[in-house]
Every structure is written in C-alpha cells, then in structure tokens.
Chains A and B, each alone.
Chain A
Amino acid sequence: MISKQEVYFNSEAAYLNNYRYKAIKLPLVIIMILLIITSGTDAFSEEQPEGQSADNNTQNELYSEQDDLYGDEYVKTAEQSVADPLYWFNYAMFSFNDKLYFWLLKPVAQGYKFITPAELRSGLKNFFHNALFPVRFVNTILQGKGERALAETESFIINTVGGGLGFATPAQYVFGIETYNEDLGQTLGRYSVKEGFYLVLPVMGSSTLRDSIGSVGDFFLSPTTYIESAELAAGVTALDRINSVSFRIGDYETLKSAALDPYVALRDAYIQMRRKQVNE
C-alpha cells in the first residue's frame, strides 16, 4: 500500500530526474554537434599559416644535409604549429588574461599565500585534486587504461579514507601510487580527434577547439557543478584557482621574460604540453 506522501515524493523525484535530464540533454547535443564539426576540421590543422607549407620540402632537405641531432623532430616541428585562424580574437583574450593575472590574480594569490600556512595550501591542493577523481577515472576508462583507472581508484579510496577527504596523500607518499591528469580533451585526442585550432578563452586561458569541448564534458563530472548554491560554487572555484596560482607565482613571468614573442611562446608551450599528455 503506497501512502499519499510516498506518491508525492516519487512524483517529485521523477520530476527532478526529468528536469535534470533535460538540463543535461541540451549541452550533450551541442557537444555531439561540435564533435562532428571538429572531426571534419582536419583541414584546419594541416593548413600551414603564413605560407609555411611551401617551405616544408626545402626545410627537410636542409636538415637532412645537416646533422640530424633532433632526429625526426625537425620534420615534425615543421608542422608543429597549430592553426590559429582566430588570431586577433585570441590575441585580445591573451592580453586580457595577461592583465587579469598581473592586476588581479597575482596580487590576490600573493596575499593569500602570505596569510595561509603552506600546509593548508598544499592540503587544499590535494583536496581539489582528489575531488576531481570522477574526471580522471572516467577518462582513463574511456581511454582503455585499465591499470591507471585502478590506480586512480586506489588513490581515491586511500586518500579519502586515510587522508581526511584527500587533504593528505598517503596513497602517494606511503604507497607510491602515481596519478595522471586525464581529461576529455586528451581522451578525444586519443581517439584521433584533431585539435581543430588554437583558442584563448577569457579567464580560462589557452585551449583548442577540441580541449574546450572536452572541458564542457568534464564540467559534468566535476563535483563543483553539483553544488546547489551558485555563490558557493563560485567561491569554491575561485579558491581552487587562487590556491593553485599561489604555487606557481613567477612561472608565467619567467616564460614571458624569456620569450621574444610571449603570445607565440605560450601558444607553443600549451600545444607541446597537450600533445605530450595525449601521447602518454
């Protein structure tokens, strides 16, 4: 015999489920469409901007005569640069992010670093890393990396139980389990989805079409997405960002001061880093 109240709850649950399903369906459709588009944008990645393609053959000849110290890398680097059709938009966003870093992010992170004990900062860093377990787990599975999925699970269980919700990392310093950053952008790369083109997002920074689509997917696996209060979610996200910047103050400055063209240096560093992550 079902009481009236139960019926009420059941229908409410059904309503909520339905609501949530609808909320997720639209982004999923968008992702699918974008995926189909990117798989068709091979033309973009093979396009050599600024008339480089014509020089490819001569370049190979040059280096075959010369020492092949970098092995095939000279040949590879001839096509290494990513297509950048949105250069002016990207450059504007790069300048915006640059100002954002120097005027807001860096001073806030410095102040935060000054008043927050190092132990708490690294505890928080571990906590945020641990909380993103679903993203890494799903993506290792999607990439068929069974051993890593197991390692992630072990690490998550040990650190959540034994490390106080992941603030400490006994899985790493006692058991030596390695975890890797995996995300949907890398998974797509694994499935031979091309980068598409370089994209600089406001606040988020360097990305590519593929990686941006990936981060939309990862968004649904990220626990912060399911925090009900929007203010709290924003606060948690900001804390995560400020906390992680507090460990890397000075790195961006070094890259910038060593570079002849900071925009190109950053673009190339991002692309090189992502290609390495996809391959490992």
Chain B
Amino acid sequence: MQRIFINNLFKTIFIISFFIISLSAPSMLMGADSEPERVLKSGVDDMTAVLNDPAFADEAQKKARKDILFNKADSIFDFSEFSKGALGKNWERFSESQRTEFTKAFSRLIANTYLAKIDDENFQDLKITYLKTEILAPTKSGIERADIASDVLHNKVVTPVYYRMMKKKGGSWKIYDVKIEGVSLVGNYREQYRTRFNDSPDKIIEEIKEKIK
C-alpha cells in the first residue's frame, strides 16, 4: 500500500516537474541576430576555425597561428579602449605617443597570456551558447553600446562570458571589455593601476614591456 503510494508520488512529482520545466523552457522562437551579435559571432567563429584548423597542428606552425590569431583578435577587440579603461584616470597623464606605446604593449600582454593558454589546449570541444543581447543607450558622444551574454562550455566546465561591445561613429562593432564569471578584465587592471598615480607613464609602459619579453 505504502509502496504504491510512494510510486505514485514519484510519478506525480516527475510528471508535474516535467510540465513545469517544459513551460518554463525558453521559447524556441529566435529573432534575427542584431548587428553586434552578428559581428561577435563571426569574429569568434573565425578564431575557433583557425584554432581547429589541422593545418596549424604541428609545432612549427604554432607561431604563424599565433600571429593570425592576434590579427583577428585585433580586428574584433578595441585595444585602445581596453588600455584606456585599464589605466583609468592614469590615462590622463599619458601623452599621445605614450598612449599608443602602452596600447601596443598591453594588447600583446593580453594576447600572450590568453593565446598562450589556448595554445596548449584542445579546442575541439569548445561550445559557445549566446544567451542574450542587450542594446544599451548610446553615450553622450554617440557611441552605440551592446552587452552580449554567453556561456562557454569547455573541458566540461561552463563559464559565463559577457562581451561588452561598442560602435563609434563610422566605425564597426568592437569589444571593449570582457567579463568572465562577472569579473571585468578591464576593471581588474584598473584596480591594479588605481594606486599607481606616483609612477611615471614610462615606468608603467616599461613594466608591461618587461612582462611580454
């Protein structure tokens, strides 16, 4: 008697939960991708295609692949905005040429650390799910902005990755910040540079150059 009751109970729970879940499942109706999402997707697909290209599999080709990846990254990321955000108010103290120099070194630092990580891993099982795109109000000077949320599945670990994209007048959509598990890459550097107001710009540039050697 009790057994039947428990069996029924499980069945009921199962059926009820099934209905609740199927009702709450996200709608299958997907609208057309917005422009920033399209740019991001094609950029990311481009890079993963290079990563999975068997032509670059052997060691000798790795250097060539790194350069191709860097160029592709350079076209989709706005490294000058990255640098500006990372330096925070220190940016004001940098001259035009120092800014260019910093941007060059900083983009290499980012690329070196993250592309090096990519280099020793197998990216066949990388799966990116784009969750939603939020178009933000443009800035006062008319820069369009969008936030794109995604889940990256790799190595059986799901990591939420958030892309912040912007489009300057006459320019194209570019990434100006990446948030991984809620941690803003640019914000993380800004915090590190926050207390560096006594160091000269040249010293700060030199420090990064030392790191990318």
Contacts and interface: CB of A to CB of B under 8 A. Distances in A.
A275 B21 CA distance: 29
A154 B17 CA distance: 7
Given A69-B139, A177-B21, A81 B110 contact: no
A62 interface: yes
Interface of B: 10, 13-14, 17-18, 20-21, 25, 81, 85, 88-89, 92, 109-110, 113-114, 117, 136, 139-141, 143, 145, 155-157, 166, 176-177, 181-184, 186-195, 207-208, 211
A59 B17 contact: no
A248 B157 contact: yes
B184 A68 contact: no
A275 B182 contact: yes
B189 A67 contact: no
**3 closest A-B pairs by CB:** A276-B182, A258-B113, A268-B191
B140 A81 contact: no
Interface string A250-274: 1000100111110011011100110
A142 interface: no
B25 A176 contact: yes
Given A118-B156, A157-B13, A275-B182, A260 B189 contact: yes
Residue from A68, A70, A254, A260 with most neighbouring chain B CB atoms (10 Å): A70
A110 interface: no
Nearest to B17: A154
Interface residues of A, number: 46
A80 B143 contact: no
Given A50-B195, A68-B139, A175 B18 contact: yes
Contact of A265 (B109, B157, B192, B207): B192
Contacts, number: 103
Interface in A62-109: 62-63, 67-71, 73-74, 77, 80-81
Contact of A70 (B13, B85, B182, B194): B85
B183 A272 contact: yes
Contacts of A158: 14, 17
Per DSSP, chain B at the interface is: helix
A77 B88 contact: yes
A215 interface: no
A39 interface: no
Contacts of A112: none
A41 interface: no
A55 B90 CA distance: 12
A83 B119 CA distance: 38
A246 B20 CA distance: 35
Given A80-B187, A273-B183, A69 B156 contact: no
Interface of A: 50, 52, 55, 59, 62-63, 67-71, 73-74, 77, 80-81, 118, 122, 125, 150, 154, 157-158, 161, 175-177, 247-248, 250, 254, 257-261, 264-265, 267-269, 272-273, 275-277
A254 B88 CA distance: 23
Nearest to A261: B192
B167 to A, nearest CB: 11
B139 A260 contact: no
A261 to B, nearest CB: 5
9 contacts: A68-B140, A150-B20, A161-B10, A176-B25, A247-B156, A258-B114, A260-B207, A272-B187, A276-B183
B182 A268 contact: no
Given A158-B17, A247-B157, A248-B157, A77 B192 contact: no
Contact of B117 (A248, A254, A260, A267): A254
Contacts of B182: 272-273, 275-277
A176 B26 CA distance: 10
Given A176-B21, A269-B188, 11 more contacts: A52-B194, A67-B141, A154-B20, A157-B13, A157-B17, A248-B157, A254-B117, A258-B110, A260-B208, A272-B183, A273-B182
A73 B136 contact: no
Contacts of B109: 258
B188 A265 contact: yes
Contact of A77 (B113, B139, B145, B187): B187
